Amino acid sequence: MLESLGILSPALFGQLLLGLINGSFYAMMSLGLAIIFGLLNVVNFTHGAQYMMGAFTAWMLLQWLGIGYGAALVLAPLVVGLSGIVLERLFVRRLYHLNHVYGLLLTFGLTLIVEGLYRKAFGSAGLPYANPMPGGFRTALGYLPYYRLWALFASFLVCLATWYMIEKTRLGSYLRAAIERPDLVRGFGINVPRMVTLVYGFGVGLAGLAGVFAAPIYNVSPMMGSNLIIVIFAVVVIGGMGSIKGAIITGYLLGLAEGLVRYYYPPLSDTVVFIIMAAVLLIKPAGLFGKGVIAQHAGGTLTSQAGIEPKLRGRLSWVLLVVSLAALVLAPFVVYPVFLIKVLCFAVAASAINLLLGYMGVLSFGHAMFFGLSAYVAGHLAKVWGLAPEWAILGATLASVALGALVGVIAIRLQGIYFAMSTLALAQMVYFVCLQAPFTHGEDGIQDIPRGVAFGVWDLKGDVSAYFFVLLICGAAILMIARLVHSPYGRIVAAVRDSEPRAISLGYNANRYKLAVFIFSAGVTGLAGATKAIAVQIASLTDVGWQMSGEFLLMTLVGGLGTITGPIIGALALIGMETYMAELQDWVTVAQGAVFFIVVLAFREGIVGSLSSFSRKRAEAKVSHIDRAAVRSPLVDERGG
């Protein structure tokens, strides 16, 4: 009867069933993520890679050892959970006293390492896993495979049991108390560090178990968790960070929403989760089931050099200025100009990230959306509309400013890691829009973009000529950022970063200042993307992918957070590594992840920041030596007299 009314056709039923299965994976993954964040205050970006590790562990057990699916349901989560325990004991626990941004960045670096190693070992193509429960049965609404029903039922039981353990048992109360009052729980003879380690391993094991459930349904691939983790972040944000119940309910509901949209309007199915997230954040920033979570988990401060950079005066500053200008002029005649063009454009994008993170204390993990969208718009304006390069770049920059205003209105009320996760999810929505929009040409991108003639007289056909055009634009952008940072407006932004309540008490509208800086940062990033598209003559999905945002962050961290020159040094180092290690392919990704690891754990000041600290300590030691000498000299004179 329902089918005759058009309410529930077999096709719709099939999509709803698939949506429920996807929702069960969303619920299990977001449940593990919520447990780790809610109890440990760590955003585990590696969750997607650990989901993939669970699937690959089941595959290896079957292919190499002949161990079937039933045993893999136990062994694979244990293996992945143990790897998480090792990770927590060796690395993650070092960051508990730091700002939670470092936990996100560390686990992001680990994701790059794991995915790079698995791609090197198994390739990028998917590997099939034999269906352990072949067959099914037919109903009036369609065919129901046994395994999918099992996966749906089993994952629901796992979610229910986990919720009950955390919320309704004595063990769960100990876990919550250990996070809120570890000293009190320790007084009852409970080993709190061991409990924290086991919680992390349990959350990671849930991701591994979800991977085992998914292996027979989807091909086992090194990148199977790459895009899924962005959806999981959106699920956690919608449900409420740290909310166990919110993670489970939201996961299933969003899976059903995807199924419905896939049936009625398939092009929107990849973005519906992020659209729902944007709507929820506008209405209830804490999420559907969040209660004041935005104010929790404040974390420590970031290691930023903002406001304490060494100032060069006198002849030395002029000498360095002349040497720098001479180097920039001579560089394209010594080094490949296109390489230098990429360095300049990426340096500007990294400087825009640094403006937010280093000077305003806000992490955006989605700035690739401004870079990539602007590259597409500039390429389209130059190639299809025939605009001159300066007008194409201007139009693309304005497009990124408009997008920045829209994203800022949605996300600016959030703080800390919530802001980072929301920008990451919104950027993924822009990625899918660029993938499907006709003017971007899908996976092929916009190629052979004409450089044209700038200002009617400046022919950009040659690489050297294009380099000086890019140098002019990027140099102006970096000077604008430096001027903003050292202006009275920049000092107000710094005051908001240091103590937002105090700035508000002094009459400043903190959100308005943060929104203005965010829009400015988006515009600068768009300027870099548009300039890169014109000069390099290509705009592709790589420009708008979330991995690009990670590269911008890595450049900022390597160079030095809160420094003007740091992102430039970082861009030179990272682009150089990518260019000269290109033949190593997947090892480049592993190397980038390793750099993230090293910087977050032991080198948080970066190159320029470390040099600044060394110079400052040396000056302080010199002043201290002079003071001690001044104190001793009267005593010497008195004894000599």
Cβ burial, residue 115 (10 Å; 0-12/13-18/19+): buried
**pLDDT tens digits, residue range 483-502?**
999 899 988 888 888 888 88
Indicate the fold that domain 315-614 takes in CATH.
ABC transporter involved in vitamin B12 uptake, BtuC (1.10.3470)
**Secondary structure string (H, E, C) spanning 122-154:** HCCCCECCCCCCCCEEEECCEEEEHHHHHHHHH
| Confidence band of 629 (pLDDT split at 50, 70, 90) | low
Kindly report which listed range (211-215, 394-398, 605-609, 611-615) carries the lowest average pLDDT score.
611-615
Strand pairing report for 538-539 and 142-145? unpaired
- Rounded CA-CA distance 426/262 in Å is 20
Q: Which DSSP state fits 360? A: S
- Rounded CA-CA distance 265/258 in Å is 10
Cβ distance 503 to 445 under 8 Å?
no
- Residue ranges of the domains in the chain? 10-122+143-295, 315-614
Residue 601: pLDDT over 90: no
Residue 356: pLDDT over 50: yes
Residue with tokens 């108390």: 177
Of 22-26, 34-38, 241-245, 586-590, give the range with the top mean pLDDT. Answer: 22-26
Using a pLDDT cut of 70, give the percent of the chain over it.
Answer: 89
Cβ distance 202 to 132 under 8 Å?
no
Secondary structure of residue 226 in the 3-state scheme: coil
Kindly report which listed range (135-144, 307-316, 394-403, 550-559) carries the lowest average pLDDT score.
307-316
Q: For residue 101, which of 397, 117, 109, 212 has the smallest C-alpha distance?
A: 109
CA dihedral (442, 448, 449, 455) in degrees, to 10, reads 180
What is the pLDDT of the chain when averaged over all its residues?
85
Predicted pLDDT at 295: 41
Question: How many other C-beta atoms can be found within 10 angstroms of the C-beta atom of residue 184?
Answer: 12
Cβ burial, residue 29 (10 Å; 0-12/13-18/19+): buried
**pLDDT tens digits, residue range 65-117?**
999 999 999 999 999 999 999 998 988 888 877 777 788 888 988 999 999 99
Q: For residue 154, which of 221, 81, 69, 83 has the smallest C-alpha distance?
A: 69
Kindly report which listed range (131-135, 391-395, 476-480) carries the lowest average pLDDT score.
131-135
Residue 479: pLDDT over 90: yes
Phi-psi region of 174 (alpha: psi -120 to 50; beta: other; left: phi over 0): alpha
Phi-psi region of 220 (alpha: psi -120 to 50; beta: other; left: phi over 0): beta
**pLDDT tens digits, residue range 198-224?**
888 999 999 999 999 999 998 899 989
Question: How many other C-beta atoms can be found within 10 angstroms of the C-beta atom of residue 150?
Answer: 14
Residue 459: pLDDT over 90: yes
Phi-psi region of 416 (alpha: psi -120 to 50; beta: other; left: phi over 0): left
**Kind and range of the H or E run holding 447:** strand 446-447
- Rounded CA-CA distance 343/349 in Å is 10
Q: State mean pLDDT over 593-612.
A: 82
Q: For residue 114, which of 274, 25, 225, 249 has the smallest C-alpha distance?
A: 225
Q: What angle do CA 615, 591, 348 make, to 5 degrees?
A: 60
Evaluate whether the domain defined by 10-122+143-295 bears CATH number 1.10.3470.
Answer: yes
Predicted pLDDT at 619: 66
Secondary structure of residue 436 in the 3-state scheme: helix
Residue 628: pLDDT over 70: no
Question: How many other C-beta atoms can be found within 10 angstroms of the C-beta atom of residue 163?
Answer: 18
Q: State mean pLDDT over 364-384.
A: 95
Q: Which DSSP state fits 220? A: B
Sign of CA pseudo-dihedral 530, 536, 539, 544: negative
Output the DSSP codes for 80-96. HHHHHHHHHHHTGGGGT
Residue 540, C-beta contacts closer than 8 angstroms, at least 6 positions apart: 445, 446
Sign of CA pseudo-dihedral 223, 437, 445, 234: negative
Secondary structure of residue 459 in the 3-state scheme: strand
Same CATH fold, 315-614 and 10-122+143-295? yes
- Rounded CA-CA distance 308/311 in Å is 9
Cβ distance 423 to 364 under 8 Å?
yes
Q: Which two tokens stand for residue 536?
A: 């390099």
Write down the pTM of the prediction: 0.85
**pLDDT tens digits, residue range 175-196?**
777 666 666 777 777 777 788 8
Q: Which two tokens stand for residue 47?
A: 């969750």
